[in-house]
Structure 1
Amino acid sequence: MHSEHTFKQYDAELEALRGKVLEMGGLVEQQIIQALEALVKLDPNLAKEVMNNDHRVNALEVQIDEDCSHIIARRQPTAGDLRMVMMIVKTITDLERIGDEATKIARTAQKIFDEDRLYKPRFNEIKAMVTLVREMLSTALDGFARLDDSKTVAVARQDEQVDEQFRAAMRQLITFMLEDPRTISMSLEVLFVAKAIERIGDHAKNIAEYVVYMVKGKDVRHTSVQDMERETSQS
């Protein structure tokens, strides 16, 4: 009976840990949405909210990290449980970095607002990128919640699309700067935001890859999409 109680308590601790990761993921998703809205509307209050929420994201990372350390020390997890705890540590690192990228975008919005320019940058070049990275992160977190790696390849393919859209935006912005040097400052700001969005996509892909390791014990990092497809299709 004591052993059964201990196992139930252990399972509850792991579930609580996963719940905190999803809480952190939800907060980071909200940061992305608000940061981009702050940028489009040049809303300083929304930009400040994103920056303030970054402290909450950081605090959650520290708390979850400590919880993982305590579980390893007290429970000495093995096999699938150990993989889960290890990947949770990696997942929260990527989530924290996504929060950092969202904060960079919010700071750009704040800077443009504070300078009260006559001409403000437009961000049409990155709208498709934004849609993709939000979908990637949502899919990766859903896979984490369900312990389902079936969408990992789809996330990896979307990351390739984001990379290509970033390169296309960069080429377009370079053309603008060459044709009219007056656009250099604004174009660099758009490029800075585009790079932050591209990095968010990279982190979302990482999270999706960690799910594969949690579920199947297979490390698909630094592999091609084709190799990843073969690994995830195997039972």
Structure 2
Amino acid sequence: MINLDEHRELLKQHGMEMFNLCRKQLKKSREAFLNHDNDLAEDVLHSENRVNSLDLRIDRDCERFIALHNPVAVDLRFVLALRKINFDLERVGDHAYGISKYIVEVDTPVDKKLLEKLRFEEMYEAGLSMLDDIQIAFRDEDANKARKVFKKDKLLNKINLSAFGVISKEVKKDPSLIEQYLLLFSVIKKIERVGDLITNIAEEIIFYMEAEVLKHSKKKGPKK
């Protein structure tokens, strides 16, 4: 029978595989949206089955880890955290899928000027950067690295909050663009939600490493 340390390392490898897969999905959805690339968007849609399959596999393996080893302390926190991290990553994949589905269903590319006004590319890049940071934090078991995503999430929230005002103002100037703006607003909401999911993952890593629960706390930045 596989021992606890070997089993835990195997689970961590599967977690890294999920991170890699969901990052590819999110990055492809960005490129597909900016370039209105239907083929790339279709690739994201077809890869969704891989995300779902790995999600189920990790969930089953976590249950098996608990049943076989009856873990305690840091080992128990690890497996509990991984189950939640896996769940949040699967939802990141869902948002990449949703964005790509918009591309397949909408024939008209979005005007580049609208993207600039809504700081769309800046927001997407921040989301991908957050995902990179949190993957490194998971790989290196680095709680301080995990905390860095909280600051970046504020940028996503700021752009999201300003988007409605920008859209309201611009639609009055040119009502013919309302469908494109509404599409962009929907995608921005999804990226903002991706940021929330990544901060959830950061909380789980901190919980696993330091036994500190940040959920519902008012301040999620570094300790002073």
TM-score normalised by length of structure 1: 0.89
Q: Which residue of 2 aligns with 1:229?
A: 222
Indicate whether 1:162 and 2:147 are aligned. Answer: no
Aligned length: 220
Q: Following the alignment from structure 1 to structure 2, what is the Cα–Cα distance between the partners of residues 193 and 142? A: 26
- In the alignment, is the contact (CA less than 8 A) between 1:47 and 1:110 conserved in 2? yes
Q: Which residue of 1 aligns with 2:96?
A: 102
Give the match's secondary structure for 1:151: helix
Q: Which residue of 1 aligns with 2:175?
A: 181
Q: Which residue of 1 aligns with 2:44?
A: 50
1:112-131 maps to which residues of 2 (within 5 A)? Answer: 112=106, 115=107, 117=108, 120-122=110-112, 123-124=115-116, 125=118, 126-131=120-125
Task: Give unmatched runs, 5+ long, in structure 2.
Answer: none
Q: Which residue of 2 aligns with 1:139?
A: 133
Compare 66-75 and 119-128 and name the one that shifted more: 119-128
- In the alignment, is the contact (CA less than 8 A) between 1:42 and 1:109 conserved in 2? yes
Q: Which residue of 2 aligns with 1:3?
A: none
Q: Based on CA coordinates, which of the two structures has the bigger radius of gyration?
A: 1
Indicate whether 1:171 and 2:158 are aligned. Answer: no
* 1:211, distance to aligned residue in structure 2 (A): 0.7
Q: Which residue of 2 aligns with 1:69?
A: 63
Runs of 4+ in 1 over 3 A off after TM superposition: 119-122
- In the alignment, is the contact (CA less than 8 A) between 1:159 and 1:205 conserved in 2? yes
Sequence identity (%): 29
TM-score normalised by length of structure 2: 0.93
Indicate whether 1:190 and 2:188 are aligned. Answer: no
* Match 2:196 to one of 202, 206, 217: 202
* Match 2:79 to one of 63, 69, 85: 85
* 1:224, distance to aligned residue in structure 2 (A): 2.8
- In the alignment, is the contact (CA less than 8 A) between 1:94 and 1:207 conserved in 2? yes
Task: Give unmatched runs, 5+ long, in structure 1.
Answer: 1-5
Letter in 2 for 1:93: F
- In the alignment, is the contact (CA less than 8 A) between 2:133 and 2:148 conserved in 1? no
What CA RMSD, in Å, does the superposition of the two structures yield over aligned residues? 1.5
